[in-house]
A = this chain, B = another copy of it.
Amino acid sequence: MKAKTDIKRTVHKYDPPDSLSSVGMTMPKHLSIADAAHPFKLECGAKLTEVDVEYETYGELSEGKDNVILICHALSGDAHVAGWDAAAKGHPERKWRLTHPGWWDAVIGPGKPIDTERFFVICANVLGSCYGTTGPASIEPATGKPYGLRFPKVTVGDWVVMEKTLLERLGITRLYAVIGGSLGGQQALEWALRYPRVLGKCIIMASGPKLSAQGLGFNAVARNAIMRDVNFANGDYYSNKKGPDNGLAVARMLAHITYLSGKGMDFKFGRERLDKQEDKRQGFEAEFSVESYLNHQSKSFVERFDADSYLYITRAMDYYDAASAWGDGDLRKACRRLHAELMVVSFSSDWLYPPAEAREFVNAILAENKPVTYVEIQSESGHDAFLVDTVPVGRLLRAYLLAPGINRRSGAIV
């Protein structure tokens, strides 16, 4: 028999704001890193004359500026990684932050695995997102209207350059570590390839040097759902009454399934039905718990995410190909550039970035005699494990971050 499903929505049992181990109330910060005289150049060739970066920091920057950990967020993530957002009130699109701490609050804070009493932690919202950094919903200087699809294509490489620029403006030239999961893991890897001697450690979770054909396919279906929505208006829906909410909802339902494992879903939902009286002869409303769960997930996602941003960010994920970018298609050749110590973490039931692909990646690194640690965490949480299995993930982070570094010359060792 299946476990009884808790179809009440999960209330995350993170620490409350007053907890000793929370970073407490947080405020988003903003920095403009481009202007007409100093445009931000993108890999596609386009230039942006306005780039406003939203970021958050926790902990204190050491005098030597040698305790910085950069966190890279995933597709639907944001710069609010830990603590409770003091600015969420009055922002309907951020209202979920009133009841949820940052997305990795379980591992970041005083005494937590990424210990803010020791490290200065920073995370920036990526370019093209809808959480404060310039994106398709931002005003295009030339027209005074939201960019929509006139926003240029962005890449993981662009994000890393943006983060580097931000850090330089803050006077930070060395990183103790860069850490990311999923699309954030691609950013972390790109950091290690693009700026090999700037970071000491690089932790890549539930990610890899490229997305599979299946992953490309799922992203294509998600974008199709959005772009085929009658309210998509070719991306210019911002001043309309309704945006492509239905398409975005379908995209999220689909994506959500790919973040879970089959076994995990069987355990959590099985074939359990909703407990309601109804005439089952007709109609196709949700009858199984899993349907209701996916509906709920998509509804809350639509309230908080922008459809155009979804297009841009999934495309960046599609494009990322470390072997192409740094090794002419040869992953080993790309790995020759590496200098930071890498830790690659996969999760046994992650079928979006499966362990088999992570092992191939690790073998390419090893073949080039670069320092790498590989951990495959046994988990039924699927791709989402890096977000939800915070106990093993936290232990791993703590141990790896505190382990003595190999790269004594990198300047990145505290």
Contact = CB atoms under 8 A, between A and B. Distances in A.
A321 B271 contact: yes
B246 A282 contact: no
Interface in A97-150: 149-150
A354 B290 CA distance: 19
A220 B265 contact: no
B44 A281 contact: yes
Interface in A51-97: none
Interface in A318-376: 318, 321, 329, 351, 354
Q: How many of chain A's residues touch chain B, expressed as a range?
A: 35 or more
A197 interface: no
- Counting every copy of the chain, the complex holds 2
Nearest to A245: B228
A213 interface: yes
Contact of A210 (B213, B262, B271): B271
Nearest to A262: B214
B311 A284 contact: yes
A404 interface: no
A268 interface: yes
Interface string A224-253: 110111110000000000000011011001
Interface of A: 1, 44-46, 149-153, 210-214, 216-218, 220-221, 223-225, 227-231, 246-247, 249-250, 253-254, 257, 260, 262, 265-266, 268-271, 280-284, 286-288, 290-291, 294-295, 298, 311, 315, 318, 321, 329, 351, 354
Given A149-B283, A151-B282, 20 more contacts: A44-B280, A45-B281, A46-B281, A149-B282, A211-B271, A212-B265, A213-B271, A214-B260, A214-B262, A214-B265, A216-B271, A220-B286, A220-B288, A220-B291, A220-B295, A224-B253, A228-B247, A229-B230, A230-B231, A288-B318
